[in-house]
Chains A and B, each alone.
Chain A
Amino acid sequence: MKNRASSHLVALFIIIAFEIVGYYAIHRAGLIRGYQTSWVSGMRDLLLFVPITILVFWLTRVMRFVGNWTLFTAAILLFAVGTMVQYRLYSDPEYNAPRGTKEAAREEKTGVMRERFIQETYTADKKQMMGLPATPPQAVPIEDSRAKQAKYTIGDALVSGSTWIPLISFMLFALSFWLCTKDRVLLWIQRHSFLIVLVTLVPLAAAVVTSQAGKVENMTPWEPSKIPFLLGFAGILTARYKDLARTYWGLPRAQDVVPLVVMAILPFLPFFVLKDFGQMLVFSGAYATLYMVAVRRWPQLLLFVGSMALVVGILVVGALPRDLQEKVPLLPALARPVKAVLPDRIQQRFHLWLDGFTPPTPDTPWWKEKYDKALAKEREKWDKSGQREIMEKSFDAQKFNRDVWFDDLAFQPAQAIFGVASGGTTGRGIGLGFAELIPIADSDYIYAAISEELGLTGGAIVILAIIVFVCAGVRTSIDSRDMFTKLSSAGLTAFIGFQALVNIGGITRALPMTGITLPFVSHGGFSLMTSFAMLGMLMAFSHLNARDTIVAATTVRQQAKRDPSIPEAVQ
């Protein structure tokens, strides 16, 4: 596939064609499972590809885009997989049902399946015995079953976030692309990088103050602030990297390092308060990348990597399951002080990561509260039935602890990993899995839903798309002429890449689960907008590189008369 707009436009159309196939599969699977999918939301989703196509034309015709199209197509492919899985999940009445009515929604679905099963397999005798009309077994086409109708009107679609968020994302993509192709804007950013960071800190601080509890209804409004932080860091590094490279006994001067460290720590503070540890992880990954790219001094690198490894090592040691700790001498003694200091939330996440199938003892500080609450609820039930004394006697605390553990904290990760396991190589088939029983399967756990219904193949498609995206992003960074765009594009690539890794790793248990989204794939409002804005910037940098190359080439060859916007001139 050549780097031509036409080739990638064809690729886009092919993706849309297969997207339609996927949507039809969801529709058919829904009928089997006892629900009807909504035509309105399906059409809405497919129509979202119209603005994407328009974007392609806008890029070629208006912006004269000559950069790397692979970035765009990889991102759109991820977006296509994401919308398909989200459509699958949101079509399921059980997934859609508000809390407390899930049971009823499920029974409605199973009722339809059971009825068809009886009609198709039970003999007339059996039906008669059951109290049904005695008809011989007959095939029931899935179209004829009483599948639940979807209640989604055009009016709903017009006010729905699922309509507007992608549209806003596309607009932000165009806006950030347009801005970043302007040299004046880039220069302005570099000159005022510190100021930008301080200004974006204000809304973030507001978020910290207003929502101490964490996420606001599954939204993360502070997500876009990632971009100014990154640009700010890149700007400061661009200004200082030469000084940082000047070391004394392997260390840079304090006057060079301190502003950088302050810069680096600033975003950590609000994320720490907001308990968004995933974001912190991604930030550190991006910072490390930028620092290593800009300042390549072995002692610093070793110091950096060594201290990171030490911190991670201490964290892991502190959170290792007890029986594993006891196998290694000295480890318990080492782990105890760490355990005392580590926040409960981190300990809990680490336990779920390393030893998720074993419940902690009821007296574990971060588990005690939930356990006691469940126990009190159970006792209340006994009191109601008047069997308290007997129940108390036959009460098996260990079993109860296990039950509560798997119903509460371990429910989501355990059901997700069971889903991954049940997917196998080719998955259960679109709509034929049980991804709807994983909470938040459309956003944080979307990779689990993909691997359940599309199996390893679907997982491989997603991971390869991310690899392609990152490789194209790194290529953009390599091709950059000035340090700022080089660092910015490296940072943006690292951001998207690491965020994807941290998300997928959290599900496959390579890392603790952190609750961040899978870029382009997840259904997350601000996350999707940020990702598309980042994509716009990356493509703008790629465009600048290619344009400059063409200009340079034409200058060198004294071919000033040729139109500089023709991509073939590059070759």
Chain B
Amino acid sequence: MYAILLLQQAAQVAAPAQSFPVPEKEPALLSLVYMGGLALMILLLLVSLIRNRRRRTGLAAIASQDLPEEVRRKLGSTATNRGLRALRIFFVLMALGVFGLHVYWAKYASAENERFQEARYRDMRNRRLAESTLRGWILDRTGKLDRALAYYKKNGNELERMYPMDKEMAHLFGSDLGDPGLERALFGIQSSVVPEALEIVQGKPVMQAAVQDVKLTIDRDFQKAVAEELAKSGRNGAIIAINPQTGAVLALYSNPSFSLKEVRDATTWARLNADKRENPLLSRVLNAYYVPGSTFKTFTMIAAYVAGKQNHTYVGTGGGYVAEPGARPITDDNGSCETGTCGLMEMLQAYQHSSNQYFANLAVTLGPDNLRKAGELTGLGTYNGTSGEGQGRPAPELWNASTAAIRRAIAPTQSWIVTNPKMRRYDTALEGFGQGYAGQQTPFQMALFASTVANMEGKLMKPKIEEDRPPEVFNQVVSPQNAADMRRIMQSVNEGGTGRGAMAPVKAAGINTGGKTGTAQKNIPEYDPNTGAPRTRIVQQKDPKTGAVIRQYEELIIAEQPRIDAWFLCVAPIENPQLVLAIVVEGRIGETRVYGGKYAAPIAAQLVLRAKALGLLGGSPGNSTQTMQAENRGRR
């Protein structure tokens, strides 16, 4: 089934404009002529065979006269010949059966035989086809050749694939080893879609779509800036930049990365692959789970707007919010309530100052059903339990891409929460501010939340990586008015809330932005300092009576101190957002004073300024009527 889909998609990809004669047409036509001629001869032979069928010999078979009559009858010519005719029929049937199997392999196996499909990628013809042409060049969003992200260079007699942004693009492009990235997905050639002789003669292009150049949505300079900023912080982390109006991914990078050139060597690749502590082969944006902390309040806010409960109020107290009798009270970071979060709060105030109590209470008020609804609208996985089918699955359907292979190559790991109607209220409350069961979010998913808010029409656009793809809507999540409201709320964070200090230079440059900070602890395993392999211990379960070992398994050793991650979501410019940033910076082991506002937000500030310089933020901000309206509403 899947193979058919692939085939169809590959066939749909437009063929390159061929202005030159196709030399393949000639041998293809000649081979058709050859087959036609021989087929004609065979038909003539068949006809002559049938015409001569009725011819009989004039003589009867000579059977010995000394045999009894009964035996002689059975040995007579007719009976012997009956055996021969049976042989003939038997043979023709066998031959047709063998040919039937040929038909099966040529026509049906690629659609119906699962084992054949699985093994098909080992077809050496794929490689031959790929070798006989060249992969297309990969260009950035401008499509300028001198800004190519991957191209060929003549190196002596060899053609070498060059990557000017070797490390920066490594996760997106992917190496030849391991799972395929864009390089293999964009230019993978399937021998099964190569045209037959007849199709070549009819004019189907022989050259594959795979040899065309591809324009990515990535902005080469911005991607470089992103990598530089993250490197400057000296920490591991991930950044994704999306245009919320179109879904175009402007930059996608995670630190540490690797060099595409170096991993051509299999042993280097294996060494990097074995390093699970730094895990340079892992694209943290797409495939690493983080605890989102306060940034997840963005999702809870969206859920409230989806459910129409955006006017929810809550009175913050020093004792914290008790979700259900006997549960631990939920407080803000300092153990009670902070400035601005004590007393009666509306959504704006609570979001601006990041009140845990408010959002815990809001999540409980909304209930799992409303969270599920919002999750489905924004691409978040919603499950009834913490383990089960589909959790942690790749989610290729989130992408707007031309082929399934591309979608699969850059598929994010699906982020998820638990929305069991029967779950404890305390657990729902924890999810409301990004703790507990909400601890499996990828930076990619967080960017989708922010991008929903940032979209002028309240739509979540499917992210796309190919510049020429028309934008696609994933879902209409909220009304345009509600989206504008939420942007105002996000703006308040950077104007007078937790993001104010870090974003001051941006404000000074005349760009109004919205944001959300977050800080979260994540339990991580202990790693071997030499190889980077996680440490494990053998756990034995013993029968309490006899002392015999019932069960034995290997368990990861969790480090005593959790890692603290700093988050920042950013929307810029807030009046007509052209850029959404999701930034996560991992704390170092043993570090305690890590905050989103302190580590992640300054990176966002630098990047917004950089984006402005690169012209990624669109027209001049600050003076539009929308800003005035937003400000007016803010004062009200």
Answer whether A and B are interacting partners: yes
Q: Which residues of chain B in 498-546 are interfacial with respect to chain A, using CB atoms and an 8 Å cutoff?
A: 531, 533
**CB-CB nearest in chain A for B123:** A418
In the complex, 12 of the A-B residue pairs with CB atoms within 8 angstroms, ordered by the A residue number, are: A32-B24, A292-B86, A293-B83, A296-B82, A393-B531, A421-B105, A431-B27, A456-B106, A474-B87, A478-B85, A510-B97, A552-B58
Across-interface contacts of A73 in B (CB, < 8 A)? 41, 45
A387:B95 contact, CB within 8 angstroms: no
Expressed in whole angstroms, the Cα–Cα distance for A453 and B102 within the complex equals 14
Across-interface contacts of B53 in A (CB, < 8 A)? 475
Across-interface contacts of A29 in B (CB, < 8 A)? 24, 27
| Segment touching B, from A13-21, A155-163, A216-224 | A13-21
Grouping DSSP codes into helix (H, G, I), strand (E, B) and loop, the A interface class, with mixed when no group exceeds half, is helix
B20:A139 contact, CB within 8 angstroms: yes
Q: Which residues of chain B in 13-50 are interfacial with respect to chain A, using CB atoms and an 8 Å cutoff?
A: 16, 19-21, 23-24, 26-28, 30-35, 37-42, 44-49
Residue in A294, A420, A477 whose CB lies within 8 Å of B102: A420
B26:A28 contact, CB within 8 angstroms: yes
Q: Determine if A24 is an interface residue (Cβ-Cβ < 8 Å).
A: yes
Residue in A125, A458, A463, A478 whose CB lies within 8 Å of B35: A458
B39:A461 contact, CB within 8 angstroms: yes
Q: Determine if B200 is an interface residue (Cβ-Cβ < 8 Å).
A: yes
Query: Could you give, for residues 419-431 of chain A, a 1 whenever the CB lies within 8 Å of some chain B CB and a 0 otherwise?
Result: 1111111111111
Across-interface contacts of A139 in B (CB, < 8 A)? 20-21
How far in angstroms is the closest Cβ of chain A from B289?
A: 22
How far in angstroms is the closest Cβ of chain A from B359?
A: 42
Residue in B52, B71, B107 whose CB lies within 8 Å of A3: B52
Q: Which residues of chain A in 415-456 are interfacial with respect to chain B, using CB atoms and an 8 Å cutoff?
A: 415, 417-432, 434, 437, 451, 453-456
B106:A451 contact, CB within 8 angstroms: yes
| Segment touching B, from A44-52, A173-181, A500-508 | A500-508
Q: Determine if B109 is an interface residue (Cβ-Cβ < 8 Å).
A: yes
On whether A21 and B23 interact (CB within 8 A), knowing A131-B153, A419-B125, the answer reads: no
Q: Determine if B232 is an interface residue (Cβ-Cβ < 8 Å).
A: no
Residue in A74, A465, A510 whose CB lies within 8 Å of B98: A510
How far in angstroms is the closest Cβ of chain A from B76?
A: 11
Expressed in whole angstroms, the Cα–Cα distance for A129 and B125 within the complex equals 30
On whether A430 and B34 interact (CB within 8 A), knowing A130-B154, A357-B115, the answer reads: yes
How far in angstroms is the closest Cβ of chain B from A308?
A: 13
B34:A25 contact, CB within 8 angstroms: yes
Q: Determine if B124 is an interface residue (Cβ-Cβ < 8 Å).
A: yes
Expressed in whole angstroms, the Cα–Cα distance for A389 and B267 within the complex equals 11
Q: Determine if B159 is an interface residue (Cβ-Cβ < 8 Å).
A: yes
A391:B49 contact, CB within 8 angstroms: no
| Segment touching A, from B130-138, B329-337, B401-409 | B130-138
Across-interface contacts of B41 in A (CB, < 8 A)? 11, 14-15, 18, 73, 77
Grouping DSSP codes into helix (H, G, I), strand (E, B) and loop, the B interface class, with mixed when no group exceeds half, is helix
B145:A126 contact, CB within 8 angstroms: yes
Q: Which residues of chain A in 1-16 are interfacial with respect to chain B, using CB atoms and an 8 Å cutoff?
A: 1-3, 7, 11, 14-15
Query: Could you give, for residues 61-102 of chain A, a 1 whenever the CB lies within 8 Å of some chain B CB and a 0 otherwise?
Result: 000000010100110010011001000000000000000000
B151:A505 contact, CB within 8 angstroms: no
Q: Determine if A479 is an interface residue (Cβ-Cβ < 8 Å).
A: yes
How far in angstroms is the closest Cβ of chain B from A567?
A: 12
How far in angstroms is the closest Cβ of chain B from A194?
A: 22
How far in angstroms is the closest Cβ of chain A from B3?
A: 11
Query: Could you give, for residues 71-115 of chain B, a 1 whenever the CB lies within 8 Å of some chain A CB and a 0 otherwise?
Result: 100110001111111111001101111110111111101100001
B38:A81 contact, CB within 8 angstroms: yes
Expressed in whole angstroms, the Cα–Cα distance for A24 and B34 within the complex equals 10
Expressed in whole angstroms, the Cα–Cα distance for A139 and B37 within the complex equals 32
User: How big is the B interface, by class?
Assistant: 35 or more
B137:A126 contact, CB within 8 angstroms: yes
Q: Determine if A215 is an interface residue (Cβ-Cβ < 8 Å).
A: no
How far in angstroms is the closest Cβ of chain B from A281?
A: 13
How far in angstroms is the closest Cβ of chain A from B207?
A: 8
Across-interface contacts of B154 in A (CB, < 8 A)? 130-132
A468:B106 contact, CB within 8 angstroms: no
Across-interface contacts of B26 in A (CB, < 8 A)? 25, 28
A418:B120 contact, CB within 8 angstroms: yes
**CB-CB nearest in chain A for B81:** A478
B137:A426 contact, CB within 8 angstroms: no
How far in angstroms is the closest Cβ of chain B from A187?
A: 15
On whether A114 and B132 interact (CB within 8 A), knowing A1-B45, A422-B125, A504-B98, the answer reads: yes
Across-interface contacts of B38 in A (CB, < 8 A)? 15, 18, 77, 80-81, 461
9 additional contacts (CB under 8 A) given A434-B191, A482-B62: A3-B52, A109-B132, A129-B146, A129-B151, A424-B107, A437-B128, A474-B91, A549-B59, A556-B58
B44:A11 contact, CB within 8 angstroms: yes
A425:B211 contact, CB within 8 angstroms: no
Expressed in whole angstroms, the Cα–Cα distance for A33 and B128 within the complex equals 11
B20:A454 contact, CB within 8 angstroms: no
Expressed in whole angstroms, the Cα–Cα distance for A69 and B79 within the complex equals 27
Q: Determine if A113 is an interface residue (Cβ-Cβ < 8 Å).
A: yes
How far in angstroms is the closest Cβ of chain B from A346?
A: 21
Residue in B35, B48, B105 whose CB lies within 8 Å of A508: B105
Q: Determine if A385 is an interface residue (Cβ-Cβ < 8 Å).
A: yes
On whether A451 and B102 interact (CB within 8 A), knowing A126-B145, A293-B87, A458-B35, the answer reads: yes
A387:B99 contact, CB within 8 angstroms: no
Q: Determine if B270 is an interface residue (Cβ-Cβ < 8 Å).
A: yes
B531:A130 contact, CB within 8 angstroms: no
Expressed in whole angstroms, the Cα–Cα distance for A414 and B118 within the complex equals 12
A427:B33 contact, CB within 8 angstroms: no
Residue in B59, B83, B124, B273 whose CB lies within 8 Å of A415: B124
Q: Determine if A201 is an interface residue (Cβ-Cβ < 8 Å).
A: no
